[in-house]
Amino acid sequence: MGSNPIRATDVCLRGCLCGHSSERARAPEYPWMRVDIRSTERAGRRAGSGQSWMILRVLLAARGGEEVVGTPGRDLLVSDTHTFADLATAIDRAFARWDLAHLHVFRFDDGRRIGMVDLEEPDDDDADLDETKVTVQQAGLRQGDRFEYVFDFGDSWEHCCTVLRCKVDPMKESGAASSDIVPIFGWGTIPDQYDRATPQGGRQVAEDSD
């Protein structure tokens, strides 16, 4: 990614090679992190039908610091004109989340944090870059790049994201034309957001197999 690529040798605490740092300290200010909002919007309009698509693999690696059993995952078809707000929404949908009233952030090994920014009441949890303004193209993602997505800073659902392939044909990959981010493959059991097993909110209890 520009002059600060994510290193494939950087292994996170979960051992998933997502290339993120386990620290949550605010990233330093880099000149290339300053986003011209107007130029971003113009670039998105110019892209139109000339947009480029990639396949992003998202693994649900951990929750609250503990590894998620089976490491469920989803492959998403993503355009370079989608914003990171679009990507966050797509990941949450792909992992069956229904309570979205939580903070989230994308973290890169080079120190960038893209996410929800509160301009009126900023705090330490705010990202450095506004997810609604930064596109996938601006992030400079290339095949093999890895980064982290964290949803809900309380429960801390940690996802390892890897760019599998770039410049793919969306029709061949999904079988239909779409302007949205599309899940095209998946595996594993996705845990309920609050461990609920019934409409009444009861928690699932493992049965004794003996």
What pLDDT score was predicted for residue 171?
95
pLDDT for the residue numbered 200: 80
- Scanning 77-166, the segments in alpha helix (DSSP H) are 84-94, 136-139
Distance, in Å, from the CA atom of 37 to the CA atom of 128, rounded to the nearest integer, reads 14
Residue pair 58/106 in contact by the 8 Å Cβ criterion: no
Q: How many CB atoms lie within 10 A of CB 186?
A: 14
Per-residue b or e along 72-104, where b marks 16 or more CB atoms closer than 10 Å to that residue's CB: bbbbbbbbbbbbbbbbbbbbbbbbebeeeebeb
Cα–Cα nearest to 75, from 10, 162, 201:
162
Task: Give the Cβ contact number of residue 197 at 10 Å.
Answer: 11
**CATH class of the domain at 50-187:** alpha beta
Biggest CA–CA distance in the chain, Å, is: 64
Q: Closest Cα to residue 145, out of 12, 13, 17?
A: 17
Distance CA 2, CA 91 (A): 25
Structure tokens at 195: 């461990």
Tell me the mean pLDDT per 10 residues along the chain, length 210: 40 44 40 42 46 96 94 97 98 94 95 84 69 96 97 96 97 92 96 87 52
For residue 140, give the DSSP letter: T
Q: Which two tokens stand for residue 33?
A: 């992190």
In the prediction, which pLDDT does 196 show? 85
